Amino acid sequence: MADLHPPEVTTASDRVPAPGEVRANGRRPRVVIAGAGFGGLQAAKALDGAPVEVIVVDRQNHHLFQPLLYQVATATLSPADIAWPIRAILRRQANATVLMAEVDGVDTARRELRAGAARIPYDQLILATGATHSYFGHDDWAGAAPGLKRIEDATTIRRRILLAFERAEMARSDDERRRLLTFVVVGGGPTGVEMAGAIVEIARKVLPPDFRLVDPRAARIVLVEAGPRILPAFPEDLSDYARRSLEGMGVEVATGARVTACDADGVSVALAEGVTPAAGSAIEGGRIPASTIIWGAGVVASPAGSWIEAPRDRAGRIEVGPDLSVPGHPDIFAIGDTAAVTGPEGRPVPGIAPAAKQMGDYVARVIRARVTGTAVPGPFAYRHEGDLATVGRRSAVVKRGGLKLTGFTGWAFWGIAHVYFLVGLRYRIAVAFKWLWDYLTLQRGARLITGTEEDGPVGQAPVDQAVVPSAEEAGRG
């Protein structure tokens, strides 16, 4: 068994040292942060200069800017544009150490974080392990309908989208071509809306000049939402605007449609009472034959709550106290998507990047106060900084306080906000330039098909059985 500081093991009797005290072995109080997402990384950076030792543990070697992950999935940006090595981000922070390991448990009695064979003692522990896709008890759907949480998810989805058009070029029948050119996005939140809008732009504006035998503009993009409207966190007028914008772009928006089955050939849906699909709708008959399905309908917290046997909500998030510590474990904090936190007016704090960063900064201030003997800040108070979602080229919706923006103005605000929150000036300039180039030229430079069939086959007849017509026969001559 590996121990990062053998033979010392922090025990329950060895609590946080007195303010400013350095341990007999010369080691300062240790703060271990599990997860280098928005919350974990913010907590680490906020402890720069504090009289503590900071250990950041993550299974990846990079921090990911998840709000732009859909742009990797739709070939606008490359993974390196929105992900940065954690070590590089923290390299100038003298009290921080980064470990690449997958956390799989916590020994609260011995005050150790477990990562495989490694045991990492802690004085204060911050659980910032995030969330993953929720298929509402149907985990077998994951292979047919990948979600979007990691770079690997984005490159898998990008492969499936681009491969669908390639295989449609060689399809043997009209039915097969229609299935290959049907894309279903499940979930009408920001991720689903942004994905649907980005796919329709690829199909209508980017790919048509590149194909000869199939018209990418014939692609059908269907956004399926179980609730009565998309973007339910936004005001109803902005939600309605987003729907009209998507439909104007060519996306078929199906609300009141709950997915009941999902496989490599498409999805089955059950309509809410009173919902009647229009004639010719993709959901008419309750089945949508489709080669590419993207899941954005829900998330579930990491298993961190089960590691410490903490009370959790229905989504698996740890129910924390006013200072974001875990009841019964004052030395353990949970933040970001790992925590169930109540915000203003008793509403849950949303699982978005600004909220996670606020929690990370707050917990760092609590820990700094504890070890320095200064006044501990009052209960955590979330400040909502607004809601943003892009619908497509020149179109977005923004709600920030009393300000509401739509159309090009909203799109410009959305872009500036996202560029601002990227890590490092070089990345801000690179992403801004790529967006400008894409806007002016309708070109996307990251259209690479990588991966293997293990990433999920789209489906195609063997090439030697395919009937390849001439461009004139296909109607593209």
Phi, psi for residue 232 in degrees, rounded to 5: -65, -20
Residue 99: Cβ-neighbour burial (10 angstroms; 0-12, 13-18, 19+): middle
* Separation of alpha carbons 367 and 369, rounded Å: 5
Query: Chain-centre distance of CA 55, in angstroms?
Result: 24
Where are the extended beta strands (E) located within 337-442?
339-340, 387-392, 395-400, 403-406
Name which of 174, 262, 249 is nearest 217 in CA terms.
Answer: 249
Residue with tokens 């309509």: 271
Can you read off the two tokens belonging to residue 212? Answer: 């000869």
Burial class (CB in 10 A: 0-12, 13-18, 19+), 414: buried
Other C-beta atoms within 10 Å of 240: how many?
15
Q: Is 194 part of the annotated catalytic residue set? A: yes
Strands (E), 286-414: 287-289, 292-295, 299-301, 318-319, 325-326, 329-334, 339-340, 387-392, 395-400, 403-406
The one catalytic residue in 112, 194, 225, 252 is 194
Nearest to 90 by CA among 33, 174, 154: 33
Structure tokens at 326: 């875990």
Half-sphere exposure of 180 (CA within 13 A, CB side): 24
Q: Annotated catalytic sites, by residue?
A: 194
